[in-house]
Structure 1
Amino acid sequence: MDIIQIFSFMLVAALLVISPGPNGVLIAKTVPVSGKAAGFANIGGFIAAFFVHGSLSVFGLSVLLVQSAQAFTLFKLLGAAYLCWIGIKSLMQAWQNKPVQNNAEGTSKPTSLTSAFAEGFLTNALNPKVSMFYLAAFPQFIPVDDSVAAAFMLVVLHAIINLAWFSVMVMLLARIKQVSRNSAFSRWLKSVTGAVFIGFGAKLAFLKPAG
């Protein structure tokens, strides 16, 4: 794998990362309410899921997912259900219209770091589009005679790009943490993110396997 292939992969991965998707929406939902630490926990979950998908792709297990219509349908429906569940929870919190109670982070009931990590992990682990990305990317950028280490290097590069992009987003969103103390803004944010997550879930439910 030469330098041109590496930079080509980085370009493709960067375009995928910065395109609108559930990861950005999750960060936008988490940080204003729960702070920077929870946002970085989300990112940690993203990266852990990438290594799961990358490992499955390297060892050929993701091929079974894409080639088996039943397995693909089950997997995408689980992912769609999870995204919709996040959206429904967010909408329910908005509709409950509870007053904001300030704590050390200046918000009410912040998401724990463990929950934030789990949300980031499941949002990506249950997304067959991530598996499809690795299955499409690895054959194009890694010669057949390259080692498993070369494949995992691409996973590391994908993780670094995610860390860089979403870290910037976390730092920017942390600046509006004070705004989230306003109950009207909090309800608006939860309503919008809830609707967007349900939209992503519905889109995933109708996803068809590549090829």
Structure 2
Amino acid sequence: MDLVTVPFLLTCLAIALVPGPTVAVIIDQSLRAGRGAGLATIAGNTSGLFLWAVASVLGLTALVRTSEIAFVALKFVGAVYLCWLGVQSLRRSRRHEGDLPTARRRERGLLASYRAGVLANLSNPKAAALYLALLPQFIPAQESVPYATAVLAAAQMTISSLWYAALVVVVSAVRRFLARPRVRARIDQISGLVLVGLGLRMITLGRAAT
């Protein structure tokens, strides 16, 4: 039976197109450190989705959906992390790069971007709800749950990664025109305010939003 249907693909595309914490973090990393950092952030986000898929098979995402304590804890962690990223961006707008060698700075930056993608995804209760509420709706009753989850999750990850990669390419192209220190400082300020705003918004996130 064909698991990856047109309605499923359209649903995944619609979810990917909706701006949220993941998009904000990817854009922030791309503007700050270029295309490589943006792609590393996407890889981190995909790793987080993989972990949520495994948790979905094991039934762990149900805990987030049914336990108020787990939901609030995850929401709080996500909000704190987004605010921390925002504050870091605001602080970065006030200082210049250090004297760290370019190769080491790039390597450290890619690892930091990957980590940012992972943490932004794992601390987002919407990601947990996605694999709990969305995927099961497209799994036939007679189908193996682990196999169907793997197939559908792979399709969803592919769609989101392709869309985010296209976004990174566009942002990277624009970044070339925004390389002046004063402009970059303004970009960091805007990114910081957006991330802090998203973090504060996550605090007010209710179950209806997931």
TM-score, with length taken from structure 1: 0.88
**Partner SS, residue 174 of structure 2:** coil
Say how many residue pairs are matched. 205
- Shift, 1:188, TM fit: 1.2
CA contact (8 A) 1:179 1:185 kept: no
Which of 174, 177, 184 matches 1:176? 174
Matches within 5 A, 1:34-183: 34-94=33-93, 96-98=94-96, 112-147=109-144, 148-183=146-181
2 CA distance for matches of 1:119 and 1:175? 22
Contact 1:100 1:182 in 2 (8 A): no
**Structure 1: how far apart are the matches of 2:25 and 2:188?**
11
> What TM-score, normalized to structure 2?
0.89
Once the two structures are superposed, residues 85-122 of structure 1 have per-residue CA deviations (whole angstroms, 9 ceiling, x without a partner) of: 1011111222x243799x869xxx66611111000110
Aligned-partner Cα distance in 2 for 1:186–1:98: 11
* Cα deviation 1:11-66 (Å, max 9, x = unaligned): 11111111111222222222233121111100101100101111111221111121
Identity %: 29
Distance in 2 between residues matched to 1:97 and 1:180, nearest whole Å: 17
Q: Take 1:27 and 1:140, find their aligned partners in 2: how far apart are those partners?
A: 29
Matched letter for residue 187 of structure 1? A
More helix by share: 2
SS in structure 2 opposite 1:112? Answer: helix
SS in 2 for 1:195: helix
For 1:158 and 1:47, how far apart are their aligned partners in 2? 10
Counterpart secondary structure, 1:20: coil
The runs of 5 or more residues in structure 2 that have no matched partner are none
Query: What is the CA-CA distance between 1:169 and the residue it aligns to?
Result: 1.3
Contact 1:99–1:183, Cα closer than 8 Å, also in 2: no
Contact 2:45 2:121 in 1 (8 A): yes
Q: Is the contact between residue 28 and residue 173 of structure 1 (CA under 8 Å) also seen in structure 2? A: yes
Q: Which amino acid aligns with 2:204?
A: F
Residue deviations 1:64-84 (CA, integer Å, cap 9, x gap):
121111111111101111011
Separation in 1, partners of 2:6, 2:53: 18
Render the CA deviation track for 1:105-141: whole Å, top value 9, x for unaligned: 9xxx666111110001100111011111111112211
Code of the aligned partner of 2:124: N
CA contact (8 A) 1:87 1:195 kept: yes
Unpaired stretches in structure 1, ≥5 consecutive residues: none
Q: Distance in 1 between matches of 2:102 and 2:109?
A: 13
> What SS does the corresponding residue of 1:178 show, helix, strand or coil?
helix
